[in-house]
Amino acid sequence: MLATLAIHLHLPACSSLKEKRGRIKPLISRLRREFNVSVAEMDLQDKWDEAVIVCAMIGNEAAFLQSALQTVAKWVEANWSDGDVWNTKIEIV
């Protein structure tokens, strides 16, 4: 099974794409390191103040994948201080 977590972020203080990358890159690296998930910026690459990053996991139990990605979403909401988390969405295929 494949599970994805899409996180829609708002970065109100960003004034350029370079600044946005500088704020998102450490978050992506930390998620990879802390949670062993694949992570990439998947949408809104051309907007300065918004980003959508997607985390992906593969496993054989839907309940485990759901729980693990909920943990990731809660961690981002609690620990990411460069902006706001507007929305999160978990999908299991």
- Report, as an integer, the average pLDDT of 62-69: 93
Distance CA(42)–CA(79), nearest Å, equals 21
Q: What is the pLDDT of residue 62?
A: 92
Residues 65, 59 contacting (CB under 8 angstroms): yes
> pTM of the full predicted structure?
0.86
What band does 75 get if pLDDT is binned at 50, 70 and 90? very high
Domains of the chain, each with CATH number or no CATH? 2-92 (3.30.70.1120)
Angle at 53 between CA 82 and CA 28, to 5 degrees: 65
Q: What is the pLDDT of residues 9-54, one digit of tens each?
A: 988 878 888 888 888 899 999 999 999 999 999 888 778 888 899 9
